Structure 1
Amino acid sequence: MHGFIPPERFFAYLTWTEIQAMSDKENTVIIQPIGAIEQHGPHLPIIVDSAISVGVLGTALSQLDARIPAYALPPLYYGKSNEHWHFPGTISLSAQTLLATLKEVAESIYRAGFRKLVFMNSHGGQPQVIEIIARDLHQEYSDFLVFPFFTWRVPHIAKEVLSAKELAMGIHGGDAETSIMLALLPEQVKMEQAVCEYPPELPPESLLSIEGKLPFAWVTKDLSKSGVIGDATTATRAKGDRILASVAKGWVRAIEDVYTFQIPKI
């Protein structure tokens, strides 16, 4: 059941009496991996975002100092994926359902005595939802420290192995995600069906962008026929191993920071 997560770090393997007896619950780091079940082109399974969350977290927890108490909750596989729902197989929650689910999970963790919760999100379509519920939870429970993290925002070496165009435009099912899936679940990657597809370019004088300071709302079928936004054909297992190792290392640092963090006093 624990998958990539080290069994001694898997929250669901604990008994209620073990949880009740824990010391230093206020600083114990509880991590909720959040992914999605959505299309990632013809070459990748629809579990990509969820697999990346659990794979990166498991790698990080296996390297984390054993003296730091940190536990992974069972992954939340479903997310807000309606930008992909024109492609068969995508399963999407509404923003309201995702907000309610995260709120109730978090409140359960709070009732158990824990005061530090990390939302580890690997799906690019829902950071805003997770930021909203994190702030609402802290506003309601002032001693509850909630961290709305995006998996890819820790330090990593992707810029060393990806092209400039891929770094700028490869936002879904491209080189990075395909490479890391070759490291995590190689038997589920169909490289013979990998494609390269970038969205049409906007006029060079335009201030607008797909993602950035002045984005426009889009769904995937507006940008891609295959469901891929990027170049999956250049992905390799060697790149994926390097990316996985570096992102996991960044997550070790992030968990360490959460463990010692306290809101600065004014």
Structure 2
Amino acid sequence: MHSFIPPQRFFPYLTWTDIAQMPDRENVVILQPVGAIEQHGPHLPLIVDAAISVAVLGNALEQLEADVPAYALPPLYYGKSNEHWHFPGTITLTAATLTATLMEVGQSLYRAGFRKFALVNGHGGQPQIMEIVARDLHQQHEDLMVFPLFVWRVPNAAPELLTEQELELGIHAGDAETSLLLSILPEQVNMAAAVREYPQDLPSQSLLSMEGQLPFAWTTRDLSRSGVLGDPTVATKAKGDQILASLGASWAQVIRDIYQFQQPKAWKSAQVLQ
């Protein structure tokens, strides 16, 4: 049941008495992997984003010192994937359903005495939801520290291994994701079916872009016939191994940072000044 997560770090393997007796619960780091079940071209399985979030988190927890208390919740496999729903097999929640689910998970953890909750999101279509959930949970509970994080936004080896075009446009089922899947789930990758396809008909000489500071709304079929945005044909397990190791090392540091983190409280000093 724990998949890539070390069993001693898998939250559901604890008993309620383990939790009731857990020392310093307010600083224990609880990590929620969030993924998606959505198309990733003809060569990758639907589980890519969920698999990556769990594999990276498991790698990080393997590297983490035993005296840093951190536990992973079961992955939330379903996400908001409606940009892919024209491709068969994609299963999507609405933004409201995903938001409500994560809010209620956070509230349950708060009732149990935990005060540090990290969302480890692996799907590029839902960072905004993570941010809304984190802000709303913290607004409800001032002493609850919530971290809306994205698996890929840590230092990692991908920039050294991918082309400039791939780094800019290879955002879905391309070299990075395919290489990583060749490392963690090689038996589920069909390289014979891999096709290279970059986004088509993007605006040129414009401040607008597919992603970035001034994006436009799109669904995947607007940009790709195959469901691929990138070049998976050049992916290798060797690259995937390097990317996984670098992501895991960075995430181990993120977990250490969360463990040490204390919420800023300028409002308290403002009261003193008054």
Aligned-partner residue type, residue 184 of structure 1: I
| Structure 1 residues 163-182: aligned runs within 5 Å | 163-182=163-182
1:92 alignment partner, SS class: coil
Residue 201 of structure 1, CA deviation: 4.7
Report what 1:160 is aligned to: 160
Report what 1:74 is aligned to: 74
2:25 alignment partner, SS class: coil
State TM-score, norm by structure 1. 0.99
Report what 1:32 is aligned to: 32
1:95-143 CA deviation, whole Å, 9 max, x = no partner? 0000000011111111000000000000000000110011000001000
Report what 1:264 is aligned to: 264
Aligned-partner residue type, residue 170 of structure 1: G
1:150-197 CA deviation, whole Å, 9 max, x = no partner? 000011111000000000000000000000000000000000000100
Residue 264 of structure 1, CA deviation: 2.7
Contact 2:84 2:90 in 1 (8 A): yes
1:209-248 CA deviation, whole Å, 9 max, x = no partner? 0000110000000000000000000100000000000011
Distance (Å, rounded) in 1 between the aligned partners of 2:264 and 2:113: 22
Residue 204 of structure 1, CA deviation: 3.2
1:11-46 CA deviation, whole Å, 9 max, x = no partner? 000000000000011110000000000000000000
Size of the aligned set, in residue pairs, is 266
Distance (Å, rounded) in 1 between the aligned partners of 2:201 and 2:235: 23
| Structure 1 residues 128-143: aligned runs within 5 Å | 128-143=128-143
Contact 2:36 2:50 in 1 (8 A): yes
State TM-score, norm by structure 2. 0.96
Report what 2:109 is aligned to: 109
Report what 1:236 is aligned to: 236
1:113 alignment partner, SS class: coil
Contact 2:202 2:210 in 1 (8 A): no
1:83 alignment partner, SS class: helix
Aligned-partner residue type, residue 191 of structure 1: M
1:119 alignment partner, SS class: strand
Distance (Å, rounded) in 2 between the aligned partners of 1:260 and 1:158: 28
Aligned-partner residue type, residue 232 of structure 1: P
Aligned-partner residue type, residue 115 of structure 1: R
Greater shift, 195-204 or 219-228, is seen at 195-204
The alignment status of 1:224 with 2:211, answered yes or no, reads no
Distance (Å, rounded) in 2 between the aligned partners of 1:139 and 1:237: 43
Residue 202 of structure 1, CA deviation: 3.0
The alignment status of 1:145 with 2:157, answered yes or no, reads no
1:258 alignment partner, SS class: helix
Contact 2:169 2:230 in 1 (8 A): yes
Aligned-partner residue type, residue 13 of structure 1: Y
Aligned-partner residue type, residue 30 of structure 1: I
1:120 alignment partner, SS class: strand
Question: RMSD in angstroms over aligned alpha carbons?
Answer: 0.7
2:71 alignment partner, SS class: strand
Aligned-partner residue type, residue 112 of structure 2: A
Aligned-partner residue type, residue 71 of structure 1: Y
Structure 2 gap ranges (5+): 267-274
Report what 1:84 is aligned to: 84
Structure 1 gap ranges (5+): none
The alignment status of 1:46 with 2:84, answered yes or no, reads no
Residue 263 of structure 1, CA deviation: 1.9
